[in-house]
Amino acid sequence: MSFRIQKRDPATRARTGLLALGHGTVATPCFMPVGTNAGVKAMKNQALEEMGINLILSNAYHLYLRPGAEVIRAAGGLHRFMSWRHNLLTDSGGFQVFSLAPFRKVDEEGVAFKSHLDGSSHRLTPESVVDFQLLLGSDVMMPLDVCTGPGIDRAEARGALLTTTRWLERAAARWSAAEEPRKGLLFGILQGNFFADLRAESAEGILPLDLPGYAIGGLSVGEPHEVFLEILGASAALLPEDKPRYLMGVGTPDYILGAVESGVDMFDCVLPTRIARNACVLTRQGTLSLRNERNRLDFGPLDPACRCETCREYSRAYLRHLFKAREIQAAVLATHHNIHFMRIFMQEIRQAIADGRFAEYKKGFLAEYGRGTRNASTS
């Protein structure tokens, strides 16, 4: 059994767990920093390691296009290529094909698309995506799925989920047959767009495969927060209690708290790293834009509550200066802070669940965080 639940919050569906993977055991709920191109942007592996982060995400789509299978095979897998000693989860590429590729065509066999880098033509199938992730040596691999956004009709949503289910069956067959000695776990992905009954139909299709974990796809793609929470709650409740639940692409603190409350265990999002490069940092009082004029003479840390290297050493005024001067180091220092913020945030969530006071923690966090965000956006 690769997943073991440790504690359950008495008042909500939140739980803590331990997920044993090929490169170490991960405490859940966890947030996975995103390393799109075989590396978390502007972060050294060593810094992630020092924060105790032992699971990051990378993207099969990006790696398939660049540097490509030949290079990673020759390197001896993705861990060796990027010199990362801990766990890797790789996304299948499904989402990227639908969001990045300038052209795509889905048929029963798979998806044909053109590269967003050079326009070259490629084809992914459920089997080829498993094969590529076996080559990468991913500790958790995600299957090819058909992603949909808000605003599509029920028939289209149902068609996408049924294809996703058939593709998952093929992926699972390929994965089961693979003879790699230490192959990673294959998760299933629940789809069904924003139709609760389609989510249930998706669950009926994918749960019999009895995979080691299940992800919730197709949420936080532009829908209203209430719709997100409703479909999320329904989706999480459909998934097995004893397996890890992974909410794909979600990473703002408020969304994470809502999802943890519904029993979700794993998260990933580019947000903390992306906003950092855009001079925006996460604080207890909400997000802070460092370009703001009022930081010009503010020699305090980004977040007085933070003990990260950036906050221990540097001021808001200095980071503002580095961003104004377009210094690389600005992105490095802000990214470090944001990843550290997420790390501490998830640690606190786990502790609150363990102490049976998750609902209280959530309320307190949001009261402070939301207040600050409002202030920041109105100032």
For the annotated catalytic residues, the residue numbers are 91, 268
* Residue 67: burial class (beta carbons within 10 Å; 0-12, 13-18, 19+): middle
Cα separation, 286 vs 366, in Å, equals 9
**Residue 374 CB, nearest distance to its own copies (Å)?**
28
- Residue 224: which residues within 8 A CB-CB, separation 6 or more? none
Of 11 and 74, which CB lies nearer to its own copies in the complex structure? 74
**Residue 280 CB, nearest distance to its own copies (Å)?**
16
Contact status: 289 vs its own copies (CB under 8 A): no
> What ranges make up the beta strands (E) of the chain?
3-8, 15-21, 24-28, 30-33, 55-59, 87-91, 103-106, 111-114, 121-124, 140-141, 185-190, 213-216, 245-247, 266-269, 280-283, 286-289
Contact status: 323 vs its own copies (CB under 8 A): no
Contact status: 53 vs its own copies (CB under 8 A): no
Among 313, 348, 355, 360, binds its own copies (CB under 8 A): 313
Contact status: 299 vs its own copies (CB under 8 A): yes
Cα–Cα–Cα angle for 179, 164, 187, rounded to 5 degrees: 45
**Residue 31 CB, nearest distance to its own copies (Å)?**
20
34: DSSP letter: B
Q: How many residues make contact with its own copies (CB under 8 A)?
A: 38
**Residue 43 CB, nearest distance to its own copies (Å)?**
7
Contact status: 307 vs its own copies (CB under 8 A): no
Handedness of CA 218, 19, 33, 301 (dihedral sign): positive
Contact status: 70 vs its own copies (CB under 8 A): yes
Strand order in the sheet with 111-114: 103-106, 111-114, 121-124
Of 43 and 260, which CB lies nearer to its own copies in the complex structure? 43
**Residue 214 CB, nearest distance to its own copies (Å)?**
31
Contact residues: its own copies, CB under 8 A:
37-39, 41-46, 62, 66-67, 70-71, 74-75, 81-83, 277, 296-297, 299, 309, 313-315, 317-318, 321-322, 324-325, 327-329, 331-332
